[in-house]
Amino acid sequence: MQTESRAAFDLTDDQRQIGDLAAEIAQREIAPHIAQWDREHAFPRELYTKLNAAGLMGLLVPEEYGGAGADYVSYARAVEEIARVDAGSAVTVSVHSMICMAILKLGSEEQKRRYLPKLAQHDTIAGFALTEPDAGSDAAALRANAKRDGDAWVLNGRKQWCTNGGYSTVMMGMFRTGGPGAGGISAFLVDNDLPGVAVERVTEKLGIHTSNTCDIAFDNVRVPQSALLGEEGTGFSNAMTALTGGRIGIAAQACGILSACLDASVKFAQERSAFGKPIGAFEGISFKIAQMATDLDASRLLTYRAAALYDAGKPFAVEASKAKYFASTAARKHAAEALQIHGGYGYTTEFPVERYYRDAKITEIYEGTSEIQQIIISRAYLGKL
Ligand SMILES: Cc1cc2nc3c(=O)[nH]c(=O)nc-3n(C[C@H](O)[C@H](O)[C@H](O)COP(=O)(O)OP(=O)(O)OC[C@H]3O[C@@H](n4cnc5c(N)ncnc54)[C@H](O)[C@@H]3O)c2cc1C
């Protein structure tokens, strides 16, 4: 049934095949290990070598820079299929891909040649460093700074909750190069092995245990002028550009979690009996499944629409926010329902729904909270009042 829902969006053969490839690899390389990885909070580094070899880490990177040159719809399908097995692995791929796209869109030819083949082909991972202890949704309040020193820049500050931070070879980091506000911020590509770059803390989290989330310290890190990504003073808008595309990845991640909730709930509702009947025969349960299936379809349609607009070179920011807002709300809500359908078993680690429940929540928070998505969406209708 779910395959039919996807087909209704008229996926091309390539888009379907890339989704199928991701599903096959996720089933083979993640599914047998995920319960243990989740329990041990393990970052499965070797998985990304395999995803890289299969072309899934460079899906969006054009072939001339060593990638697969796939479109955004294919990418969304791949992220969804990975998230269906493990949401933590999916966000690793999503953030990595977001940085690849930022380099492609904003980078100089030298930066593209230097970084993209490595990220697409040579088994390296990218990270994103915007958030600080006192600057999250209000990212323009960030304080980490970059000061000119001859023909170099010297970076100082602390970045919080950097996904992939401990395993990245390069991070897109936003630093203050001018006065207060958004216009005083510039983006840099910072190699993680530079002196002065250090992982300060690996964050313990409610869910997505296979995703690495770190605080990174930058202490007198010297980078050349050529590390600037885009023009000086455009770092905030460059970060927002990256996040706008990134939101489609998080929407796809939420679709994957929702899809896993539906699969598990249908199976359990058919197999578990109470009062002499399968529990799926009770409307209290079957209607939950109807709502879950409908919201999954709606989440997918919004996500694919945003991705298709991206592919067509049309404005997609509001559609990306709608997709992320809707899909993440649905994933959080239905992960709770999936657990409820499983009764006491759902609360135990014998079934994966408790993990879906823990993993789903973050999709409402990172890459712009649901409140921030609603600000973006409402402003498209009301203007900035
Ligand atoms: C697991 C994880 C991974 C992350 N990965 C990264 C990463 O790779 N790189 C990175 O830079 N950051 C990352 N983040 C940070 C993430 O993007 C922020 O947590 C998020 O943007 C929210 O910021 P905040 O936590 O500071 O919340 P705050 O901005 O302090 O918000 C607190 C609450 O107030 C609400 N709020 C704030 N402003 C408004 C408003 N104007 N109107 C209505 N409500 C408002 C928020 O929606 C939220 O509910 C990650 C976070 C986590 C937990």
pTM for this structure? 0.97
Q: Does residue 183 sit in the same domain as residue 306?
A: no
User: Is 325 a pocket residue for ligand 1 (Cβ < 6 Å)?
Assistant: no
Q: What share of the chain is helix, strand, coil (3-state, %, to 5)?
A: 60, 15, 25
Residue closest via CA to ligand 1's atom 27 equals: 136
Q: Are residues 362 and 207 in contact, defined by beta-carbon separation less than 8 angstroms?
A: yes
Residue closest via CA to ligand 1's atom 37 equals: 137
Q: Which atom of ligand 1 is nearest to the CA of 127?
A: 8
User: What's the CATH number where 223 sits?
Assistant: 2.40.110.10
Q: Does residue 21 sit in the same domain as residue 114?
A: yes
What's the structural domain count of the chain?
3
Q: Is the pLDDT of residue 58 over 60?
A: yes
Q: Does residue 268 sit in the same domain as residue 359?
A: yes
Distance CA 265, CA 338 (A): 6
Q: What is the pLDDT of residue 175?
A: 98
Q: What is the pLDDT of residue 385?
A: 85
Q: How far is the CA of 284 from the centre of ligand 1 (A)?
A: 35
Residue closest via CA to ligand 1's atom 38 equals: 137
Q: Does residue 350 sit in the same domain as residue 337?
A: yes
Stretch 147-161: mean pLDDT? 97
Stretch 285-305: mean pLDDT? 97
Q: How far is the CA of 312 from the centre of ligand 1 (A)?
A: 30
Q: Does residue 330 sit in the same domain as residue 307?
A: yes
Among the listed residues 3, 105, 19, 13, the one whose alpha carbon sits nearest the alpha carbon of residue 56: 19
Q: What is the pLDDT of residue 10?
A: 85
Q: What is the pLDDT of residue 339?
A: 98
Q: Does residue 108 sit in the same domain as residue 197?
A: no
**Which residue in 63, 354, 367, 371 is the catalytic one?**
367
Q: Which domain-ending residue is among 95, 125, 155?
A: 125
Distance CA 5, CA 248 (A): 19
Q: Which domain-ending residue is among 97, 125, 153?
A: 125
Q: What is the pLDDT of residue 18?
A: 97
Distance CA 262, CA 291 (A): 10
Q: Which atom of ligand 1 is nearest to the CA of 372?
A: 47
Distance CA 217, CA 26 (A): 33
Residue closest via CA to ligand 1's atom 25 equals: 136
Q: How far is the CA of 362 from the centre of ligand 1 (A)?
A: 10
User: Is 340 a pocket residue for ligand 1 (Cβ < 6 Å)?
Assistant: no
State the residue range of the domain holding 281.
Answer: 237-382
Q: Is the pLDDT of residue 135 over 90?
A: yes
Q: Which residue has the tokens 């509001």?
A: 318
Give the pLDDT confidence of 166-218 residue by residue, as tens digits: 999 999 999 999 999 999 999 999 999 999 999 999 999 999 999 999 999 99
User: What's the CATH number where 281 sits?
Assistant: 1.20.140.10
Q: Does residue 121 sit in the same domain as residue 136?
A: no
Q: How far is the CA of 55 from the centre of ligand 1 (A)?
A: 31
Q: Quick one: CA dihedral 114, 119, 124, 125, positive or negative?
A: positive
Which of these ranges, 30-34, 121-125, 373-377, has the smallest mean pLDDT?
121-125
Q: Where are the beta strands (DSSP E) in the chain?
A: 125-129, 145-149, 152-163, 168-176, 185-191, 197-202, 213-224, 228-229, 273-274, 277-278
Q: Does residue 156 sit in the same domain as residue 171?
A: yes
Q: Does residue 241 sit in the same domain as residue 280?
A: yes
**In whole numbers, what is the pLDDT of the chain averaged over residues?**
96
User: What's the CATH number where 66 sits?
Assistant: 1.10.540.10
Q: How far is the CA of 33 from the centre of ligand 1 (A)?
A: 30
Q: Does residue 25 sit in the same domain as residue 79?
A: yes
For residue 345, give both structure tokens: 């078993």
Amino acid letter, residue 374: Q
Per-residue confidence band for 34, with pLDDT thresholds at 50, 70 and 90: very high
Give the pLDDT confidence of 224-283 residue by residue, as tens digits: 999 999 999 999 999 999 999 999 999 999 999 999 999 999 999 999 999 999 999 999
Q: Is the pLDDT of residue 338 over 80?
A: yes
Per-residue confidence band for 7, with pLDDT thresholds at 50, 70 and 90: low
User: Is 141 a pocket residue for ligand 1 (Cβ < 6 Å)?
Assistant: no
Distance CA 385, CA 380 (A): 11
What is the per-residue DSSP string for 192-218?
TTSTTEEEEEEPP-SS-TTS-EEEEEE
Q: Does residue 38 sit in the same domain as residue 170?
A: no
User: Is 371 a pocket residue for ligand 1 (Cβ < 6 Å)?
Assistant: yes
Q: Check if 81 is active-site.
A: no
Q: What is the pLDDT of residue 132?
A: 98
User: Is 205 a pocket residue for ligand 1 (Cβ < 6 Å)?
Assistant: yes
Q: Are residues 291 and 330 in contact, defined by beta-carbon separation less than 8 angstroms?
A: no
Per-residue confidence band for 4, with pLDDT thresholds at 50, 70 and 90: low
Distance CA 354, CA 337 (A): 11
Q: Are residues 66 and 58 in contact, defined by beta-carbon separation less than 8 angstroms?
A: yes
Q: Which domain-ending residue is among 106, 125, 144?
A: 125
3-state DSSP assignment of residue 127: strand
Distance CA 66, CA 218 (A): 30
Q: Does residue 222 sit in the same domain as residue 245?
A: no
